[in-house]
Amino acid sequence: MSSSFEAAASAVRDALSSAGRGLVEREAMVELVALSAVAGEHLLVIGPPGTAKSEAVRRTARVLGGSYFEYLLGRFTEPSELFGPVDLRKLREGIVETETQGMLPEAEVAFLDEVFLGSTAILNTLLGLLNERTFRRGHTRMRCPLRVCVGASNALPEDESLAAFADRFLARIFVEPVPDPRLEELLAGGASLWGDADAPVTSLESLDVVAQAAREADLSGVRPHLAHALRTLRAAGVALSDSRAVKVQKLIAAAAALAGRRTPGTADLWPLVYAVPTKEAQALARDVLRDVLAGTENPALPAAALEASAGPLVRARRIASAGQALLAERPVDGNGEALAAWRLKLEGVAREMDAGFAPESLPDDLKVLRAEVTGVLASGASGSSHPKRRWRCERAGFPRCLRHGLDAGPRAWRLRASVSGGAASGPGCGG
């Protein structure tokens, strides 16, 4: 049994590596689909349209070899579009039965885009399917083979009834468009996805073996550490409901099993972050749990584990490393076109700094990087490389312009080129 478990865990790891290839900044999402499937829970993905949410789920289902159902819900979506049409032949006999072949009740992996736009009838039926893996409609009663349902939306619902439905998704991940410094990787990775569809790398039988190990895991050793983490979150104002606090143990056991460990330890506590309901609360959880999660390690789910345990200092080091590498790649002054492209990349690093940190909380290494980037962009603004170009702030009310340094808040690095001559200036600056 031990060798069978190890082989199954290895097969799933290979499948996830294959599924995440070419999906820049979506590797963690791919891994969370598998984590949720092993735990027998569901995943909610929040992010703008066009951020490869469906592609990530589709590729994961393909490499795992499971039957897959996908649908984009709208205000006028009919229940039959998800669950199947009513059998008209039996309806004439007064029996309401649903033809479920190829529909959601028979899927093993499902992706429901804009899931909160479903009607009350759809959401009520989904509740039974998600909670109990049972489909009920008319005279139809059936057990569903669903391993994991991934719901997606542009934002969390504010309506209380929808929020209660959203609580059925234990794990949550918030995705954003790929940041500027990784655009080249995005383009190359996107082009690689145009080829033939991935063949299954493993089968759901391997997932079953890992899931069985997760169900049998001994959590007694890690529970005191989990309780400490929950108290730390409560003290910081991040409260999980009792049901979520209990269910997160399934994610922890699944993370350990996927890593090839039968007994979860402190290295497997990181899924707790994904059980926190909101984006802001998850960011706070990463910060206050940085010591608890310091020992995080998972070879099967490296991206998800890193994203969960990476506090502000880890993110700062990554941005600083990318920025310093970019500064070292400065083209020669005579190559105006290359310099312009290089400056655009620098602006992307600057925007990422301000998107992630308020000025007063900027770590020391980013303060140094910010000063260097400001100096480089200011020298470009003065016309040393582009005498007919100047850079000015696009955001009204900028406290200071680039020529005199940058004292703005988050997302303030919004620069654009102006073809008029003269020294750099910006709103709020006398030049």
pLDDT one-digit tens code per residue, 294-332:
889 899 999 999 999 876 666 777 788 888 888 888 887
Asked if residue 410 has pLDDT above 50, the reply is no
| Cβ pair 340, 329 in contact under 8 A | no
Residues in CB range of 365: below 8 A, 6 or more apart: 316, 317, 320
Judgement on whether residues 375 and 390 belong to the same structural domain of the protein: yes
In a domain, 347, yes or no: yes
The verdict on residue 102 lying in a domain is no
Cα torsion angle, 362, 365, 371, 377, sign? negative
Whole-number pLDDT of residue 201? 64
How many domains is the chain partitioned into structurally? 2
Give a yes or no: residue 134 inside a domain.
Answer: no
44 beta partners: 151, 172
**More confident position, 82 or 401:** 82
pLDDT tens digits for range 141-155: 999 999 999 999 999
Looking at per-residue confidence, does 92 or 132 come out higher?
A: 132
Strand partners, 148: 109
Q: Which of 408, 340, 407 is nearest to 377 (CA)?
A: 340
Q: Is residue 91 a part of any domain in this protein? A: no
Residue 207 lies in a domain: yes
Give the Cα separation of 300 and 215 in Å (integer): 18
412/403 Cα distance (integer angstroms): 15
Rounded distance, CA 256 to CA 261, Å? Answer: 5
In the block, residue with structure tokens 């008209």: 88
Q: Would you say residue 427 lies in a domain?
A: no
Residues 301 and 153 in one domain: yes
Do 296 and 330 fall within a single domain? no
Both 318 and 305 in one domain: the answer is no
Q: Are 406 and 426 in contact (CB under 8 A)?
A: no
Which amino acid type is present at position 266? T
Question: What number is the average pLDDT over the span 325-344?
Answer: 82
Domain boundary pick from 251, 277, 309: 309
Write the pLDDT tens digit of every residue in 251-296: 999 999 999 999 999 999 999 999 999 999 999 999 999 899 988 9
- The domain that holds 60 is classified in CATH as 3.40.50
Instruction: Give the residue from 262, 284, 309 where a domain finishes.
Output: 309
Residues 22, 62, single domain; the answer is yes
Averaged pLDDT for residues 39-62: 92
| Distance, CA of 210 to CA of 285 (rounded, Å) | 28
CB 274 within 8 A of CB 172: yes
Single-letter residue type at 293: L
Distance from chain centroid for Cα 164: 21
Residues 29 and 56 in one domain: yes
In a domain, 345, yes or no: yes
Does 79 have pLDDT greater than 50? yes
How confident is the model at residue 195, as a pLDDT? 55
Tell me: do 278 and 162 sit in the same domain: yes
Asked if 290 and 338 sit in the same domain, the reply is: no
CA angle 347, 328, 21 (to 5 degrees): 70
Question: Of 281, 309, 337, which closes a domain?
Answer: 309
Domain-located, residue 250: yes
pLDDT, tens digit, 9 for 90 and up, residues 208-246: 999 999 999 999 999 999 999 999 999 999 989 999 999
Residue in the structure block whose two tokens are 């909160």: 116
Statement: residue 419 has pLDDT above 70:
no
- Rounded CA gap, 363 and 21, in Å? 32
**Are residues 319 and 259 part of one domain?**
no
Element (H, E) at 44: strand 43-46
Q: Please, what's the b/e burial string for 235-248 (b: 16 or more CB within 10 A of its CB; e: otherwise)?
A: eeebebeeebbebb
Cβ–Cβ contacts within 10 Å for residue 139, how many?
Answer: 12
Residues 353 and 400 in one domain: yes
Radius of gyration of the chain (CA): 25
Q: Structural domain of residue 366, as residue ranges?
A: 313-418
For 142-192, how does the pLDDT look when each residue is reduced to its tens digit (9 = 90+)? 999 999 999 999 999 988 889 889 999 999 999 988 877 777 778 877 656
Residue 13 has pLDDT above 70, yes or no: yes
Are 61 and 162 contained in the same domain? yes
Assess whether pLDDT exceeds 70 at residue 389: no
pLDDT at 151 (0 to 100): 97
29 plus 159 within the same structural domain: yes
Q: Which residue has the tokens 């899924």?
A: 271
